[in-house]
Structure 1
């Protein structure tokens, strides 16, 4: 289904509002731009579970900036704000979009940009679209597996980092030789 199908997806871009850094009132609400949280402010533009897709300014075109957010947040005009609707789990949408190839949908005039006209053309595979209950069950299982995999990946990465630090410590200890005495008799 294309992201523009308003039966399955909601695009909540109309509430986005940019605010210059000098005019932002400091607060506890995350202020999102194309590449994650830019600041913390008072007030919010959205409340709920959403996927934020960089409109322009993604740090990487091959690994496009996709964010999953829950709760109150402020979205500036550099992100598209999308969520699942009838029979589409927003977390499932997030996982799918993190693997999607955005290059064919980006405008090539100067700075790469994902216009709303191109955003609505991106197809998302929905299992059993005619049976929302079954579809949500399947999506839920996919989300559970991918979230578990992400958690295991984070644990393994932390373990690998600790092992590299340990290796460096012992290597440096083994390869450091005492300095000879300056005075030789």
Structure 2
């Protein structure tokens, strides 16, 4: 029998009390700050509409080891800060009384995150209402049981954090060596993309006809963090539309796609011949393989030096765009083809180690995360003892109903 089983049998053999979150803890809205009060670095991070700090403040309004919920923007995201921080007005902080551990509430909220996300109102700015948070029902076992659950679950999260840090270090190492290889792979030989490609085009500038089936229609959102295209889409165009497109706009194996509007600067290597179409937000480059290897071009366009060129080329206020003319003038180092092939072999192997979800650290991280979620659900599920606490409004309605009868 585990230590947790012993505690449950000793302290709550008949189940535990469930409460609405609003009756178990204090849910406090943060205080607004303006950008003039923020800096790019500092002692106290400011959380507003995401788990990434909006900036840093000279003051804090919540102490370290506090759980918080984002209610606008990345609405429904659950955070936990191990340092003092400033919660802005779209960030709700959880303040716990004696008898409730803040870290325990953090794991509970993660376990119920899908329920919260289902309550997010989708609009121009997604929002999560206070009532959706307050009405979440949670188990509140004795403090000793909360501590033991936190200890077990934190062991999982610490291991995942260590693996994630190692993966981040490997990716940083990959970026360093990729940039070194690209920088040292030529002797003054730099070419513009238009000198390396047979064609540089983009997708159709007109909205394509819709179809229930046919050729997949992809957007930038269908490109994942591994620079791969998810073709399991819900949008299609008729085969006739695809057949009418110019050849340079119909992707084929060896082409390189490049996002040029909004989330610009993401290269994608086309590794197989599969039909799909896209609009002008994505450019398509057809390398001249007598000059440059397609896979080498993909790696070069993913390099730090090329990203800097993209930042300089992107124009516009609301939505940054790299024009095709500007893209064509951007440059890459072009060593002899045999050198390109050697670089590709090195970088492909390194990228696979860093990115392939079927091997190495990413697979281990994914497995640990699933293990954590499995045990979190198991550990945070209790039998009710019949003493579930209603909210004050529900208690009032129940008392009124009893009086009427």
> Is the TM-score greater than 0.5?
yes
Q: Which runs of 4+ in 1 moved over 6 A?
A: 161-166
Q: CA deviation at 1:2?
A: 1.0
What is the rounded CA distance, in whole Å, between the counterparts of 2:37 and 2:147 in structure 1? Answer: 41
**2:163 is matched with which residue: 156, 161, 174?**
156
Q: Does 1:45 align with 2:61?
A: yes
Q: Does 1:35 align with 2:47?
A: no
Higher RCO (CA < 8 A, seq sep 6+) = 1
Aligned residue for 1:98? Answer: 110
Aligned length: 157
Q: Which consecutive residues of structure 1, in runs of 5 or more, have no partner in the other structure? A: 128-134, 170-174, 178-185
Aligned residue for 1:144? Answer: 151
Q: CA deviation at 1:155?
A: 2.7
Aligned residue for 1:17? Answer: 31
Q: CA deviation at 1:153?
A: 1.7
Distance 1:76 1:145, change over 3 A: same
Distance 1:157 1:117, change over 3 A: closer
Q: CA deviation at 1:91?
A: 0.2
What is the rounded CA distance, in whole Å, between the counterparts of 1:104 and 1:160 in structure 2? Answer: 31
Q: CA deviation at 1:46?
A: 2.6
Q: Does 1:116 align with 2:130?
A: yes
Distance 1:163 1:74, change over 3 A: closer
What is the rounded CA distance, in whole Å, between the counterparts of 2:59 and 2:144 in structure 1? Answer: 35
Deviates more, 1:88-97 or 1:72-81: 72-81
Residues 9 and 85 of structure 1 are in contact (CA less than 8 Å); yes or no, is this contact kept in structure 2? Answer: yes
Q: CA deviation at 1:47?
A: 3.1
Please provide the CA RMSD for this pair.
3.0
Aligned residue for 1:67? Answer: 79
Question: Counterpart of 2:139 in 1: which secondary structure?
Answer: coil
Higher strand share: 1
| Matched ranges for 1:157-176 at <5 A | 157-159=164-166, 176=342
Q: CA deviation at 1:110?
A: 4.8
Length-normalised TM-score, structure 2 = 0.34
CA offsets 1:78-120 (integer angstroms, 9 cap, x no match): 1111132242110010011122121333234553311112211
Residues 44 and 60 of structure 2 are in contact (CA less than 8 Å); yes or no, is this contact kept in structure 1? Answer: yes
What is the rounded CA distance, in whole Å, between the counterparts of 1:109 and 1:158 in structure 2? Answer: 35
Residues 37 and 57 of structure 2 are in contact (CA less than 8 Å); yes or no, is this contact kept in structure 1? Answer: no
**2:101 is matched with which residue: 48, 71, 89?**
89
Residues 49 and 90 of structure 1 are in contact (CA less than 8 Å); yes or no, is this contact kept in structure 2? Answer: yes
Residues 45 and 86 of structure 2 are in contact (CA less than 8 Å); yes or no, is this contact kept in structure 1? Answer: yes
Question: Counterpart of 2:108 in 1: which secondary structure?
Answer: helix
Q: CA deviation at 1:136?
A: 1.0
What is the rounded CA distance, in whole Å, between the counterparts of 2:80 and 2:170 in structure 1? Answer: 30
Higher helix share: 2
